[in-house]
Amino acid sequence: MNGTGSESPASSPMKPLIEIKGVRHAYRTPAGPLPVLDGLELSVPEGEFCAVVGPSGCGKSTLTRLVAGLMKPDAGEVWLSGERVTSPRKTVGMAFQNPVLLEWRTILDNVILPLEIVAPRMPRRDRVARAEELLAMVGLDGFEDKRPSELSGGMRQRASLCRSIVHKPSVLILDEPFGALDNFTREDLWQTMRDLRAAEPFTTILITHDLRESVFLGDQVVVLSGRPARTQYVMDVDLPPDRDLDVLFEPKVGDMLHILRDQIKVAQGRASEAAA
Amino acid sequence: MIRSVGVPVVALAVFTAIWEFVVWANGWPDFVMASPSDLPAAYARFWELFLTGAWQTLWRTVAGLVLAVIVGLLLGMIMGFSRIMRDALYPLLVGFNAIPKATLVPVLALLFIGQHDFNTVMMAFLISFFPIAVSVGIGLSTLEPEYRDILRSLGASKVTIFWKIALPKTLPEFFGALKVSVTLAFIGTNLVEIVSPHGRGLGALFLSGQTNSNYPLMFAVLIALAVLGIALYYAVVWLEKTFAGWAERKG
C-alpha cells in the first residue's frame, strides 16, 4: 500500500472495535458497474474517534452504509466488536447531514425512537429519563416538548445526535452531521460532540469534508483517494482528548492540516500542486 | 373568531341577495328560475323527503369513500414500495381515471342488477380512490432514504418502518388527496342517483323536481347538496387537524 503512513508509529494495544479489510464495492448502473470502493482498510480501536476525509463523491457515504450493515460489500470484510457485519445491528447509531427528525413527534419522542426498537420492554419512565439526560448534556433542556420545526438547524442537529446515541450504541456512524451548519454553530457542535464522547462509551466513524473538524475531533484521520476510494493516508492525531478549540491555532495542528491538505490534493489527482 | 365566522356569513348573504336581485330584475317566473325566497316553502313542504334523501346520499357517499380509502391506501402502498408494480399499475389507473364515470352507470346497473345501494357505493368508490392511491404512492416512494435508515440501521422490520415513519410521513399528502376524493365520491353518488331510474337520495329528489317542473324543489335540492358537500369537506379538514395537525406551520 503506497502512501499509507502515520505520524506516530505507536499502535494501540487494544483490539480494533471497527475493522474494515480490503473492501471493494461497485454500484450497478445502466452504463455498467461503477466502482466506488477498492482496497479500503480501516481500523478503529475501542473508544476511539476516526475521522474520514476524501474528495467529493469518493464513496464515503457508501462506507457508512457498509459499517451500518445496510449494504454488503462485493469483496472484503467489515468487522464490529469481533463479529463480521452482514446485516444491521442494534449496537449501531447513525446521524446524517439532514437531521431527519420526525416532524409529528416532539423532540423528546424523537430522541426516544431508537429505544422503541432496541428496548421495546423498557418502561417509558426510564426512556424519558435517558432522553432527558442526553438533551440536558447537549443544552436542549427545556425543549423536550417542542416540535422539530420550532428549533434552529443547530438545535435539530443536537437532537439528532442525542437520538443516535440514546440506546448506548457501541459504534456511532456520523455522515457529515455538521456539514450544513454555519461556522459558529459548527464549532459549538464540535465541542458538544467532544463532551458527549467523554461521557458516553461509543467508538466513532465520522465522515467529513472539514479538515479542521477531522483534527479537532479525531484520534485518527483517514484520507481516502478519489473514486474508487482506497485508504490513501492515515494520520494519528496526537492531541489530548479534552482538547480545546484553541488547539486549532497551534503550529503542530497547522502542520497536520497542511499534510492533510496535500493528501486531499493527491486524492483529487492534483499532486503537482501539493508538491509546491 | 368574528372573522372566521363573520366573513363567510356576509359572503353568503351577498351571494343570496345578488341571486334574488337577478331573478327579480329579469322578472323570471318560478318555472324558469327559482329565487332564494322560494326555497323555504320547498323545504317546509318536502322536509321528510329531504331528510331521508340526505341520509341516503350521505351514508352511501361515506361508504364509498371508506372503500376508496382502504383500496387507495393498499394500491398506494403497493406502488410506493415496488417499482415494478408502479410501472405496471400506473398506466392502468390513469386510463381508468380518464373514463367518464357516467358511462359506467349502465355497466354497473347491468352487472349488479337491482342492487341500487351497492351500485351507488361502487360508483362513489370508483370515482374517488384514484387521488388517494396516487398521493400515497408518491408519498411513500419519495421518502428520503435517511428516514428509513435511522430505523433500518437498528434492524427494524419493514412493517415497523411503515407504521412508525412512512405512514405518518405520508399523512399530509393523504389528507390532501382525501379532500379531493370526498367531493368526487359525493359527485359519484349523485350521478347514480340522478341517472339511474328508481333512484334514491337527494339526486332522485332532484330528478322528481325536474319531472314535475318544480323548480323551487330542484334548487332547494342543489342547495342541500352544497350544504352536505361542505359538511363532508370540513369533516375531512377536522380529521386532518386531528391526525396531521403537525404538518401545519404556525405563524
Q: The domain spanning residue B184 has which CATH number?
A: 1.10.3720.10
pLDDT surpasses 90 at B189: yes
Identify all chain A residues contacting B171, using CB atoms and an 8 Å cutoff: 104
Whether B155 and A90 lie within 8 Å, measured CB to CB: yes
Q: Among A62, A54, A111, which residue's Cα sits nearest to residue A265?
A: A54
For residues A156 and A226, state if they share a domain. no
Question: In this structure, are A246 and A270 located in the same domain?
Answer: yes
Q: CB–CB of A90 and B169 under 8 A?
A: no
Tell me how far the alpha carbon of residue A227 is from its chain's centroid: 20
**Cα–Cα distance for residue pair B83/B18, rounded to 1 Å:** 53
B12/B56 same-domain check: no
Overall number of domains in chain A: 2
Contact A22, A41 (CB under 8 A): yes
Residue B251 lies in a domain: no
Residue B212 sits in the same domain as residue B121: yes
Interface test with A, best of B150, B161, B240, B241 (most A CBs within 10 A): B150
Residue B18 DSSP SS3: helix
**pLDDT tens across B64-76, in order?**
999 999 999 999 9
The reply to whether A33 falls in a domain is yes
CA distance linking residue B191 with residue B208, whole number of Å? 14
- The pLDDT assigned to A8 comes to 41
Task: Kindly tell me if the per-residue pLDDT of B199 is higher than 80.
Answer: no
So what's the pLDDT on residue A218? 93
Is there a single domain that holds both residue A219 and residue A160? no
Residues B49 and B157 in one domain: yes
Helical residues (DSSP H) of A39-150, grouped into ranges: 60-67, 107-118, 124-137
For B147, nearest residue in chain A (alpha carbons): A100
Q: pLDDT, tens digit, for every residue of B206-231?
A: 999 888 888 889 999 999 999 999 99
- CB of A69 within 8 Å of a chain B CB? The answer is yes
Q: B30 pLDDT band (50/70/90 cuts)?
A: confident
Sheet bearing A49-53, strands edge to edge: A92-96, A171-175, A203-207, A49-53, A220-224, A231-236
B13 and B50 in a single domain? The answer is no
pLDDT of the residue at A275: 54
Q: What does the pLDDT profile of chain A (276 residues) look like in tens digits?
A: 344 444 444 444 557 899 999 899 998 888 888 888 888 899 999 999 999 998 877 788 889 999 999 988 899 899 998 888 888 888 999 999 999 999 999 999 999 999 999 999 999 999 999 999 999 999 999 999 999 999 999 999 999 999 999 999 999 999 999 988 999 999 999 999 999 999 988 999 999 999 999 999 999 999 998 888 889 999 999 888 888 888 889 899 999 999 999 999 888 887 777 654
* DSSP 8-state class, residue A78: E
Asked if ipTM goes beyond 0.85, one says no
pLDDT given at position A3: 43
pLDDT greater at residue B11 or residue A271: B11
Residues B237 and B221 in one domain: yes
Number of independent structural domains in chain B: 2
Specify whether A230 is located in the same domain as A101.
Answer: no
**Average pLDDT of span B114-137:** 91
pTM of the predicted model, to two decimals? 0.80
Q: Is A151 helix (H, G, I), strand (E, B) or coil?
A: coil
pLDDT at res. A14? 57
Same domain? A63 vs A39: yes
Three cell numbers, residue A173: 456512524
The predicted model gives B34-44 an average pLDDT of 89
Residue A161 within a domain: yes
Q: Are A66 and A6 in contact (CB under 8 A)?
A: no
> Of chain A residues 156-175, which have a CB less than 8 A from chain B?
163, 167, 173
- Band (B250; pLDDT cuts 50, 70, 90): low
Tell me whether residues B164 and A113 touch, CB distance under 8 A.
yes
Domain extent, residue A48, equals 1-86+172-179+202-276
Task: Name residue A51's beta-bridge partners.
Answer: A206, A221
Per DSSP bridges, beta strands A220-224 and A83-84 are unpaired
Q: What is the pLDDT of residue A18?
A: 92
Is the same domain home to B134 and B207? yes
**Does an H or E element contain A28, and which?**
strand A16-29
Range of the domain at B15: 1-33
User: Does B110 lie in the same domain as B207?
Assistant: yes
CATH number reported for the structural domain that contains residue A8 in this entry: 3.40.50.300
Residue A7 has what pLDDT?
A: 41
Same domain as B46, residue B12: no
- For residue B172, what is the nearest residue in chain A, using CA coordinates? A104
Measured distance CA(B205)–CA(B190) in Å, rounded: 10
Distances (CA, A) of A44 to A12, A47, A139, A176, A229: 9, 8, 29, 18, 18
Which positions in chain B have a beta carbon within 8 angstroms of at least one beta carbon in chain A? 144, 146-147, 149-156, 160, 164-165, 168-169, 171, 244, 246-247, 249
Percent of chain B residues topping a pLDDT of 90: 53
Residues in chain A closer than 8 A to B164 (CB atoms): 113, 116
Question: Sorting pLDDT into bands at 50, 70 and 90, what band is B248?
Answer: confident
For residue B177, the model assigns a pLDDT of: 94
Asked if the structure places residue B68 within a domain, the reply is: yes
Neighbours of A99 (CB within 10 A): 23
Burial (CB < 10 A; 0-12, 13-18, 19+), residue B10, is exposed
- Least Cα separation, residue B150 to chain A (angstroms): 7
The reply to whether B133 falls in a domain is yes
Query: Are B22 and B101 contained in the same domain?
Result: no
Q: Are residues B5 and B50 in the same domain?
A: no
Residue B222 has a pLDDT of 92
Whether residue A74 sits in one domain with residue A20: yes
Q: Are residues B197 and B215 in the same domain?
A: yes
- Which of A122, A146, A168 finishes a domain? A168
Looking at the structure, tell me whether residues B204 and B237 fall in a common domain.
yes
A191 inside domain: no
Using CA atoms, how far apart are residues A212 and A220, in angstroms rounded to an integer?
13
User: Is the Cβ pair B144, A116 closer than 8 Å?
Assistant: no
Distance from CA of B165 to the nearest CA of A (A): 8
